[in-house]
Amino acid sequence: MLQPIRIGMAPAEKVHSDDPPGTAPYRRTWVGIPVWLWVDQPSESTWGPITKTATYGGVTVTATASVQSLTWSSGDGQNVTCGVGTAFDEAYWADKAAQDSPTCGFRYQHTSKDGAFALSATTNWTVAWSAGGQTGNIQMPTVTSSTTVRVGELQSVNVTVPGDRNP
């Protein structure tokens, strides 16, 4: 059975240090900060390939199902099509400047009215088959998984403090 992928994403789903006690884990990022996307723990049923062979009436049929494409929708109008992506290594990036994913991601350009976007990952599967000297492809229905991302906006105010010097 073809199943939706498990969404791998930075920002991770967690309770943040400024949340009140009892807050459920959620994903939070900021306008302009890189969002990394990947397929978390890909398997046969979420990414493929799945190959099956059967014989009936003297004809052997072999079919292989695999993901043809994966399209991410940010919820704010951006769509990116990627492969399996690159997992974010939180320990490695802990003390480094934010960078875009080398394989799959985007940056939110604005917040929403309620501060949250519905992010989705849609996989398009195809089945390649061969039987009796013939071959073909069958397009399968798409499979989608989703999550909610809260997007905030950071602003700063520059002020002059007595004793500061202008360069």
Tens of pLDDT, residue by residue over 37-58, are 999 999 999 999 999 999 999 9
Mean pLDDT, to the nearest integer, of 93-101? 92
**DSSP state letter for 91:** H
| Residue-range domain boundaries for the chain | 6-152
CA 107 – CA 99 distance, rounded (Å)? 10
pLDDT of residue 17: 87
pLDDT tens digits along 100-117: 999 999 999 999 888 899
* Single pTM value for the model: 0.84
CA 71 – CA 54 distance, rounded (Å)? 32
User: Higher pLDDT residue, 154 or 28?
Assistant: 28
pLDDT of residue 154: 84
Among 29, 13, 37, 7, which Cα is nearest to 100's?
Answer: 37
3-state helix, strand, coil split of the chain in percent (to 5) is 0, 50, 50
164: helix, coil or strand? coil
pLDDT averaged over every residue in the chain: 93
CB 4 within 8 A of CB 46: yes
pLDDT tens digits along 122-147: 999 999 999 999 999 999 999 999 99
Mean pLDDT, to the nearest integer, of 22-41? 93
Instruction: Please say if the pLDDT value at position 166 is more than 70.
Output: no
Instruction: Please say if the pLDDT value at position 167 is more than 70.
Output: no
Residue 164 pLDDT level (bands cut at 50, 70, 90) = confident
CA atoms within 13 A on the CB side of 137: 7
pLDDT tens digits along 5-26: 999 999 988 898 888 899 888 8
CA distances to 80, 93, 121, 134 from 106, in Å: 8, 17, 13, 42
